[in-house]
Each structure stands twice: as structure tokens, then as C-alpha cells.
């Protein structure tokens, strides 16, 4: 676990988290989605191809 100082509301502090995402299996496509937001059919929002799960460091939301 990471314990940083608690960010105040007015501070813009970017916290990077290892996030489960699905990325498009088409190498020519940059489409990906956070796991929380994928559609039920797990298809790429940009090209409709299948997506594969992976871990990516993303800003906490």
C-alpha cells in the first residue's frame, strides 16, 4: 500500500495507480477502456475489435 499525504481539495495531485484495463487487440488501433467502463461485449469502442485485459499505470480517478 501507498500512504501519501492527504490531498486537499484545492491541490491538484495526480496519483498513479496500476489499473486494470482492456486494450484493443488490433496493433494499429489505440483503443482501450478502463475495466470499470468496458461494455458488456468487451469490444473496442474505436474499431469494434476484441480487447485483451492488461495492467496500465493511470491517474487515479
Contacts to Zn ion by CB under 5 A: 24, 26, 29, 31, 44, 46-47, 49
- Cα(49)–Cα(28) distance, rounded to whole angstroms? 11
CB of 39 to Zn ion, least distance (A): 12
CB of 2 to Zn ion, least distance (A): 32
CB of 50 to Zn ion, least distance (A): 9
Q: How many other CB atoms are found less than 10 A from the CB of residue 32? A: 18
Closer of 47 and 58 to Zn ion (Cβ) = 47
Element (H, E) at 57: strand 51-59
Amino acid at each position: 500500500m501507498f500512504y501519501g499525504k492527504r490531498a486537499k481539495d484545492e491541490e491538484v495531485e495526480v496519483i498513479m495507480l496500476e489499473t486494470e484495463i482492456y486494450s484493443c487487440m488490433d496493433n494499429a488501433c489505440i483503443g482501450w477502456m478502463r475495466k470499470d467502463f468496458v461494455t458488456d461485449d468487451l469490444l473496442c469502442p474505436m474499431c469494434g475489435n476484441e480487447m485483451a485485459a492488461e495492467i496500465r499505470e493511470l491517474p487515479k480517478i
